[in-house]
């Protein structure tokens, strides 16, 4: 989410075009998606502390490396028989791979999976509390990072974040992270009152499913489909938000400001959706996400106005919140906890792949047509088709 505020700086300082930056992002992110399932298996085997601490270290080092992108690409051009743009393109592929694999990939996967392993009957409520922070962080990140850039510089801000990960986050992980209650000699939700006959408790699967068993369930692909597309569409919008608003005659500050109301709405929908996941079928979260994406995407087809802005904020805010609910609660609710890392890792692979293709697809459409209106119709059509495809799959069998 934070890459959006760095896009124009990278274009200017590395002498790359918008389509080149988007392509480098796509290649690096796609490459990270290919190893995400393996990362989930690693998490299942070695635990949350090892996987998360290693991921935080990798992310910190990548951010520090990216802070020297201008110097490194200049040195590559002088030492190797390649043009400056070619070296910068290759370097950014490596950089995007690092921040996507270690950051939004493994670190997110492990942190979310650990919380889900600690709760059962109250899993939805736990996800709701966690969602207050994650939904706000995802939605508001561009604004925070823009402020950090204004206080220092675009490359120094990467340096500061890298040092923050290594000096503060890694000790926090080692101190706090634990895999499950059983590993600490505790029972699941020990000391927490659980109602007799709790609906959430009754819906817990009898046994944990392996990754291969989960792959044979069509519901898995249905939920992964909507997660894939939202990752594609939201990442593309965020990545090009300054360019989209510029095409409407708006400034960068106005573009970034839209994330504040989106973040509040995302937090609210994440909390409500997570709480309701203990009570209602997950298919209703799926349908609500589809409708929200259609609403937000349709706003991009309209001229800029108060009405279109409210529609954009509402659609993207609700979809972003429900996206977090589906990605957190669905897998343990359907397939148990034992192989949660592997199943979540495969889902994360799909989302990372979607986020890789999104910015490139928006760049391509803008290059062809000279505007972003057709990206709105892409969202309406694709989300609508996913919703229609999900009706027979999710209505035919209870989803927990």
The DSSP call for residue 169 is: I
How far is it, in rounded angstroms, from Cα 339 to Cα 210? 6
Q: What is the DSSP letter of 80?
A: S
For residue 329, give the nearest of 382, 380, 264, 275 by alpha carbon.
275
Task: Determine the pLDDT at residue 247.
Answer: 81
241 φψ region: left (φ > 0), alpha (ψ -120 to 50), beta (else): alpha
Nearest Cα neighbor of 396 from 202, 209, 226, 218 is 218
Gyration radius of the chain's alpha carbons: 21
What residues contact 219, with CB distance under 8 A and at least 6 apart?
334, 393, 394, 397, 399
CA distance 155 to 160: 9
Cβ proximity of 40 and 105 under 8 Å: no
State residue 83 phi and psi, 5-degree precision: -75, 160
Q: Where are the alpha helices (DSSP H) in 152-258?
A: 154-164, 170-176, 199-202, 211-215, 218-239, 241-247, 252-257
Give the span between the Cα atoms of 376 and 316, in whole angstroms: 12
Residue with token string 């699941």:
188
Q: How far apart are the first and last CA of the chain?
A: 30
Burial of 369 (0-12, 13-18, 19+ CB in 10 A): exposed
CA distances from 167 to 171, 172, 341 (A): 7, 9, 27
Residue at token pair 């509040």? 264
State the pLDDT at residue 77: 78
- Its pTM stands at 0.73
User: 160 CB contacts (<8 Å, ≥6 apart)?
Assistant: 148, 152
Query: At 132, which helix (H) or strand (E)?
Result: helix 123-151
CA 83/CA 70 separation, integer angstroms: 14
Distance CA 282, CA 287 (A): 9
Distance of CA 118 to the CA centre of its chain: 22
The tokens for 38 are 């393996």
Q: At what angle do helices 84-98 and 69-79 cross, to 10 degrees?
A: 130
Per-residue pLDDT of the chain (400 residues; tens, 9 = 90+): 678 788 889 999 998 888 888 889 889 988 988 888 888 889 988 999 999 999 999 999 999 999 999 999 888 878 877 766 888 999 999 999 999 899 888 998 898 888 888 887 788 788 878 877 876 776 678 778 888 999 988 999 999 999 999 999 999 999 999 988 888 888 777 766 655 444 444 444 446 888 899 999 999 999 999 999 999 999 899 888 888 888 887 877 788 788 889 988 988 898 899 889 888 889 999 999 999 999 999 999 998 888 999 999 999 999 998 998 998 889 988 888 888 888 988 998 898 888 888 888 898 888 888 888 899 999 999 999 999 999 999 986 554 4
Contacts with 90 (C-beta within 8 Å, 6 or more apart), sequence order = 76
pLDDT at 202: 43
Domains of the chain listed by start with CATH number: 2-179+198-393 (1.20.1250.20)
50 C-beta neighbours (distance < 10 Å), count: 17
In this structure, are residues 322 and 270 in contact, taking their beta carbons and an 8 Å threshold? yes
């Amino acid at each position: 989410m934070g890459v959006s505020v760095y896009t124009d700086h990278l274009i200017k300082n590395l002498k790359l075009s918008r389509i080149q930056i988007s392509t480098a992002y796509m290649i690096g992110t796609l490459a990270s998606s290919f190893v995400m399932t393996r990362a989930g298996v690693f998490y299942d085997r070695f635990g949350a502390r090892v996987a998360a601490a290693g991921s935080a270290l990798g992310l910190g080092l990548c951010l520090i490396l990216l802070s020297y992108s201008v110097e490194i690409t200049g040195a590559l051009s002088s030492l190797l028989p390649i043009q400056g743009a070619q070296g910068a393109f290759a370097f950014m592929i490596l950089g995007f791979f690092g921040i996507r694999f270690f950051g939004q990939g493994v670190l997110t996967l492990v942190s979310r999976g650990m919380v889900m392993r600690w709760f059962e009957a109250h899993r939805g409520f736990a996800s709701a509390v966690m969602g207050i922070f994650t939904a706000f962080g995802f939605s508001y990140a561009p604004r925070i990072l823009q402020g950090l850039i204004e206080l220092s510089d675009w490359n120094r801000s990467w340096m500061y974040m890298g040092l923050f990960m290594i000096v503060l986050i890694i000790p926090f992980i080692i101190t706090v992270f634990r895999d499950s209650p059983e590993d600490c000699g505790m029972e699941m939700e020990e000391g927490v009152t659980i109602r007799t006959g709790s609906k959430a408790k009754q819906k817990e699967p009898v046994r944990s499913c392996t990754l291969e068993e989960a792959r044979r369930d069509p519901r898995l692909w249905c939920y992964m489909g909507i997660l894939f597309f939202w990752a594609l569409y939201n990442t593309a919008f965020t990545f090009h938000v300054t360019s989209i608003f510029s095409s409407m005659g708006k400034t960068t500050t106005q573009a970034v400001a839209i994330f504040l109301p989106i973040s509040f709405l995302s937090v609210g929908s994440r909390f409500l959706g997570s709480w309701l996941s203990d009570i209602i079928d997950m298919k209703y979260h799926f349908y609500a996400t589809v409708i929200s994406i259609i609403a937000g995407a349709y706003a991009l087809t309209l001229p800029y106005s108060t009405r279109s802005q409210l529609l954009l904020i509402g659609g993207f805010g609700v979809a972003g919140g429900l996206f977090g609910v589906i990605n957190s609660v669905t897998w343990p609710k359907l397939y148990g906890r034992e192989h949660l890392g592997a199943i979540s890792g495969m889902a994360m692979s799909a989302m990372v792949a979607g986020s890789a293709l999104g910015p490139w697809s928006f760049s391509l459409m803008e290059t062809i047509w000279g505007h972003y209106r057709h990206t709105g119709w892409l969202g309406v059509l694709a989300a609508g088709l996913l919703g229609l495809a999900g009706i027979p799959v999710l209505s035919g069998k209870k989803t927990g």
